[in-house]
Chain A
């Protein structure tokens, strides 16, 4: 295995012959390609099977356009990459280390002319649970599970799903939806129009969108900031003791479901919108300059601080 660790590994061998032929006779190549099209399609997929001995906290990096990526943490000190890539797509990689010891880093590139070509590429990457995984892709469906180290996932579209509780999790997307099932210690997720759903909590949480909905269900959040411009915010989790939660939305509705058991001081203000209190009998007051609404209330030991601000989005507090 270490012998392979030393070398780059060109995984696709389908293009060089065709490039050579194309230089010699474009017309002949075109005719040949048409004739061989059915055969080419049948053999269009190429299998990937790469294995590396690594450290337990290996850094794994993958960049390039990919259709489907499954990342699985396992209890072995090795990285295994399997799957299929379509013709025209090449996977190259290399490792960090001198080859005499397990690699501390694995880096791979997926080269494709565009997302369309690589949309059928499907890879499964098995990494040690404590690995730090970094992925940058275009439109992709990424499913990561059982990682306890770090995850840094960057896509444009598609879908990102994370199961488990990595120590650090960062997801950046444009219109991809993001689902996190677990309680990462540190979590940052950003989208433009994609929705973000966290089923769990976090010690340090930051969710940001422009128009995507932000939703947190269950778990305990110690420090959190949820920001959106037009998206809705739904928070139904426990504010950690002594924690601080901030919610900012310009025009999106904010729904907070809070528990009596977690003491907090809450300040809610909407510049031109409304504040509805269904948590207790405290009545919101008219906002500054006689418009909008404001509400301040304390419960329990008031150890947590919750601040909600909107420009015109309605704020609703639930029990």
Chain B
């Protein structure tokens, strides 16, 4: 017998386990209130599924092993891939929209330096499949805000929203090579303002200026972006962001949200809206999501889809610590 526990794994005991369950119950009851059906997906699945669903880099962080017949399996590194496959195959005949929610552990290898040390995380998530447009985007944003508010985190959180097509439109307009596009993405993602300006100067193009001040967060970012951007693709994305923001304002939720055109961390995955959830007391985001209209197509039935996940373990840690301080 060994007394050691593998890196990134842990126990939850007593009060902490109870708190964790309470948080899970809050999220699931909010989902249920919005008519999201619970789904339990297989813990083990073919590795191919996740590579198709998450892209190779992310899927490779999964714990992999072989089946009896030699095929590669993985302990699920996400739930969305499996739900998307289910929607496209098993439930292809069901009337749309489909609404699903889950509370399920996912398993991912972590790089050693990363502040996120856990290799087992429970995701509280939802997927809205079969409807596009602002109304669907707004629905999942409301869900996220409602869960945070039920956890009394509304004054301590910030949900950033972006539309990845703003970046994609500019990258296409500048006719960037794959390498240059990745370099531009990285400079925006890390907010390296001076390097970004240098990079953009080589293009001598007004559109490029839209991103030249990625550190500028306050003020009306949409208006500033509109002054610089002329390509149709980015314009449409800015329009839909604006529409979404109007919806957020009409619900009186604007204090929990922020538009961040510099959130370009998962461009290959999301196709429209992307969101990240931050909470005071957690050093990295505690949730993320967005629109992934390209995903179900890879399982044979292309349709719009949007969703998000909250990290139960990170949330429990924040709530547990702030509870002790009170």
**A and B co-occur in one complex:** no
Q: Which residues of A contact B (CB under 8 A)?
A: none
Hey, which bits of chain B sit against chain A, CB under 8 A?
none
